Structure 1
Amino acid sequence: MLRLLNIEFIKLWNNRASKILILAYFILLSCIALIAAIKFDFGFFKFHLAEQGIFNFPYIWHFNTYVAAALKFFLAIVIVSMMANEYSNKTIKQNLIDGLSKKEFILSKFLTVAVFALVSTIFVFIISLTLGYIFSSFTETSIVFSDLEYIVAFFIKLLGFFSFCLFLGILIKRSAFALGFLFVWYMAEGFARIVLNLWDKTSEYADAITQFFPLQSMSNLIKQPFSRLGAVKEMANQVGEQFNFDYTVHWYNIIIVLFWTSLFVIFSYKLLQKRDL
């Protein structure tokens, strides 16, 4: 496995665009800390975002993983470009000639996306732990390490999404078209949900059906955290609204995403098997 990873990271290291995108991704992840610096001071109105509790344990695990997940598209570009370069530079053919089997080739790609997901998760965990101990009002161990299921969900979400990108890179071969297809797929899932909502006003059937869609299943792992904030709840109460959201990381959502992840890897291998390289 280390040999396969070494081959992949040598390719990435020799690609300038990939290096820049990976570096930009981790720099942007680090910029989550800059949220603490957001302040508004207009006369009597003073607002400091960090004081609203966004970095309180255990809420910080939910907030940071949700925000960090939005940056995954930087690595999506790297992954589809990684596959596009294999075809354009004919390195995939050379690897197979040099003795790498198609199964090992797909495994090397999957291990690479798994490492991206794991390193991103560890990075977000360290940033969240640091910010929490600096700004949180609660630092008891039992509170600090509660709700860590969001960290697990973050890893699985990235793993599933990156596996989807890997499949698209192999299917379409060109990075621009693969990313375009990703956007079209996202729009198609959104359109399907709108149609289902029009058919059933309660959204009960829409939720039941769309939870099995690839991108929606990944989105369901970490729901939006903003309505959990005390300030947001207070504003809602003032206008007579109440939030009734389920923020739990459910085991069945994890199973659905892992199912799609397995399917994308299997489809990638089957595609490679059938193609004349």
Structure 2
Amino acid sequence: MKRLLQIEYIKLWNSRSSRFLIVAYFVLLTSIALIAAIKFDIGPIEFHLADQGIFNFPYIWHFNTFVAAIFKLFLAIVIVSMMSNEYTNKTIKQNLIDGLSKKEFIASKFLTVLVFAGISTVFVFVVSLILGMMYSDYNEISIVFSDLEFLLAFFVKLVGFFSFCLFLGILVKRSAFALGFLIIWAILEQVIFGLLGWKLVSWDTAKILKSLLPLESMANLIKEPFSRLNAVQSVADQIGERIELNYHVHWYEIALVLGWTVLFIYLSYALLRKRDL
């Protein structure tokens, strides 16, 4: 395992673009802290975003993991570029000649995915903990460390998404086309949802079927947190609306994404095994 990770580390660190994207990704994760500095006046009303409770425990785990997941595209570019460079530089062929099996090759890529997701999760945990200690109105231990399932969901979401990107990188071989295919697939999921609800089944059934698709299932792991804010709830009450959403992370949602992850890794290996390099 250590040898496989060392091989991937050397490849990534020798790529200037990969180094830049990885550093940019973690800088952006740190920039979540800048949200606390958002402050402006609207006439006599002073608005300070940090005072709206976004950094309160345990809400901060939900809010920060949702926002941090938006930046995952930076590492997605690294992963598809990583596979593209293997074909362009013929390092994949050289690795196999040097004795690395195709199974070990895929294992090295998946280990890289796990490391990226793991470090990202720890990073978000530390940043959130610091921000919470600074701004949260609730600092009791039982409250601070409640709702940590959002961190688990964040980790699983990244692993699933990066595994999908790994599969696309192997399937398409070119990073630009792989990213283009990713965008097309995201649009296709919405088209499938529209066609199902419009022509084939009820909209409620279409929504359930849509939730089973790869990108939608990953998105559903962490629901939008903004409607949980007291200010949003107050506005909804004033206009006679009631927001009743289930924000919890469910085991079957995690199981579904893990299922897609296993499928993507298996398809990556199957494709590589059959392909003449």
TM-score interval, normalised by the smaller of the two chains: over 0.9
**Structure 2 vs 1, CA of residues 201 and 59 (structure 1 numbering), >3 Å: closer, same or farther?**
farther
CA–CA separation in structure 2 for the residues paired with 1:36 and 1:187: 33
| Runs of 4+ displaced beyond 6 Å | none
Q: Which residue of 1 aligns with 2:192?
A: 192
Partner-residue secondary structure (3-state), 1:99:
coil
Q: Which residue of 2 aligns with 1:42?
A: 42
Q: Which residue of 1 aligns with 2:22?
A: 22
Using the TM superposition, give the Cα deviation of residue 92 of structure 1 relative to its aligned residue in structure 2, in angstroms.
0.1
State how 1:108-147 maps to structure 2 within 5 Å.
Answer: 108-147=108-147
Which shifted more, 92-101 or 194-203? 194-203
Q: Which residue of 1 aligns with 2:251?
A: 251
Using the TM superposition, give the Cα deviation of residue 209 of structure 1 relative to its aligned residue in structure 2, in angstroms.
0.7
**Structure 2 vs 1, CA of residues 238 and 196 (structure 1 numbering), >3 Å: closer, same or farther?**
farther
1:239 counterpart = 2:233 = no
CA contact (8 A) 2:196 2:202 kept: no
Using the TM superposition, give the Cα deviation of residue 181 of structure 1 relative to its aligned residue in structure 2, in angstroms.
0.1
Q: Which residue of 2 aligns with 1:213?
A: 213
Using the TM superposition, give the Cα deviation of residue 161 of structure 1 relative to its aligned residue in structure 2, in angstroms.
0.2
CA–CA separation in structure 2 for the residues paired with 1:199 and 1:109: 41
Which residue identity lines up with residue 137 of structure 1 in the other structure?
D
TM-score normalised over the length of structure 2? 0.98
Deviations 1:139-167 (A, max 9, x none): 00000000000000000000000000000
CA–CA separation in structure 2 for the residues paired with 1:151 and 1:182: 24
Partner-residue secondary structure (3-state), 2:47:
strand
Which residue identity lines up with residue 192 of structure 2 in the other structure?
A
1:106 counterpart = 2:106 = yes
Partner-residue secondary structure (3-state), 1:223:
coil
CA–CA separation in structure 2 for the residues paired with 1:140 and 1:200: 51
Partner-residue secondary structure (3-state), 2:46:
strand
Using the TM superposition, give the Cα deviation of residue 204 of structure 1 relative to its aligned residue in structure 2, in angstroms.
2.0
CA–CA separation in structure 1 for the residues paired with 2:202 and 2:30: 40
CA–CA separation in structure 2 for the residues paired with 1:27 and 1:17: 15
Which residue identity lines up with residue 101 of structure 1 in the other structure?
S
State how 1:78-117 maps to structure 2 within 5 Å.
Answer: 78-117=78-117
CA–CA separation in structure 2 for the residues paired with 1:251 and 1:57: 22
Q: Which residue of 1 aligns with 2:63?
A: 63
CA–CA separation in structure 2 for the residues paired with 1:207 and 1:247: 17
Q: Which runs of 5+ in 2 are unaligned?
A: none
Partner-residue secondary structure (3-state), 2:138:
coil
CA–CA separation in structure 2 for the residues paired with 1:248 and 1:109: 31
Q: Which runs of 5+ in 1 are unaligned?
A: none
Q: Which residue of 2 aligns with 1:160?
A: 160
